[in-house]
Amino acid sequence: MTKATVFLIPVPIADGANHTLSPDVAAQTALLRHYFVENVRTARRFLRSLHPALVIDEIQFSEIDKHNGPDIALLRKWLKEGKNVGIMSESGCPGIADPGAELIAIAQQMQAHVSPLVGPSSLLLALMASGLNGQSFAFTGYLPVKDPMRAKRIKELEAISVKEKQTQLFIETPYRNNPMLADLIKTCNPKTMICIAQNITAPDAYIKTKSAAEWSKEIPVLVKAPAVFLLQG
């Protein structure tokens, strides 16, 4: 058992939205000197925005490799040495649609204390604002990129939603936002409700819920920014 603590550091969804974070985020990041992050450059920029006087060069960062995953051996070493460690997502909360989950599982195995700090989750904020069922919901990550698998998966999620009365949430690469919306409109039952949530917490936030039939009458051009899609059949 280790006495070290792993802090899960949320990052604002929108640029300059540090006000969406709890005071604990600033308090803990002022002390932490060991981090696992998705991108060192943006992590350093975020820490500077919280602590302009912080000496960034005194902090050790381990970037999570997109292909090989995180350096598990390094995490084990830091925890065995009793070092508190921060895990930082690119946006939102670590471990949710994020590679940090593997690190958190190791921390749990080593019986480190895991402390999730309060901050924005695009999935929960989108669900809150959608008007869709918040009592039963499921996040399914990315859908297949191409048909026929894409359309098949959309129909599967729609059928599950109807059967379970469950909201389905998923995401897409920003440059495929518009094709995703087109496929949803084309594939779903006209009465199925679809929500698009983009730039949540930003001044230009876009969160709209309409039926597939209603969307088909006025299809928006979505910006190339992260989006959450929700449907309820």
Q: Which amino acid is at 187?
A: T
Give backbone dihedrals phi and psi of 40, rounded to 5 degrees, phi first.
-65, -40
Report residue 1's pLDDT band, with 50, 70 and 90 as the boundaries. low
Read off the CATH number of the domain in which 141 is found: 3.30.950.10
**Per-residue pLDDT tens digits for 42-51:** 999 999 999 9
Q: Cβ(214)–Cβ(195) under 8 Å?
A: no
What is the rounded distance in angstroms from the CA atom of residue 81 to the CA atom of residue 78? Answer: 5
Same domain, 100 and 167: no
Q: What is the pLDDT of residue 3?
A: 86
Q: What is the separation, in whole angstroms, between the first and last Cα of the chain?
A: 47
What is the rounded distance in angstroms from the CA atom of residue 106 to the CA atom of residue 212? Answer: 42
Same domain, 56 and 154: no
Same domain, 64 and 103: yes
Same domain, 228 and 128: yes
Same domain, 101 and 179: no
Q: Look at residues 99, 116, 133 and tell me which one is the last residue of a structural domain.
A: 116
Q: Which amino acid is at 58?
A: E
What is the rounded distance in angstroms from the CA atom of residue 205 to the CA atom of residue 212? Answer: 21
Residues with Cβ within 8 Å of 86's Cβ and at least 6 positions away in sequence, in order, are 6, 7, 8, 9, 28, 29, 32, 34, 35, 36
The count of structural domains within the chain is: 2
Give backbone dihedrals phi and psi of 63, rounded to 5 degrees, phi first.
-85, 135
What is the rounded distance in angstroms from the CA atom of residue 26 to the CA atom of residue 54? Answer: 12
Q: Look at residues 82, 116, 150 and tell me which one is the last residue of a structural domain.
A: 116
The DSSP element (H or E) to which 60 belongs, if any, is strand 60-63
For the record, the structure tokens of 75 come out as 């995490």
Same domain, 106 and 129: no
Same domain, 61 and 79: yes
**Per-residue pLDDT tens digits for 58-115:** 999 999 988 888 999 999 999 999 999 999 988 899 988 888 899 999 999 999 999 9
Read off the CATH number of the domain in which 105 is found: 3.40.1010.10
Is the torsion defined by CA of 54, 89, 173, 137 positive or negative? Answer: negative
What is the rounded distance in angstroms from the CA atom of residue 92 to the CA atom of residue 169? Answer: 16
List the domain range (segments joined by +) for residue 13: 5-116
Same domain, 74 and 163: no
Same domain, 93 and 187: no
Q: What is the pLDDT of residue 94?
A: 92
Cβ burial of 66 (10 Å; 0-12, 13-18, 19+) is exposed
Q: Look at residues 88, 116, 144 and tell me which one is the last residue of a structural domain.
A: 116
What is the pTM for the complete model shown? 0.91
Same domain, 141 and 104: no
Same domain, 101 and 135: no
* 3-state SS, residue 233: coil
Same domain, 223 and 207: yes
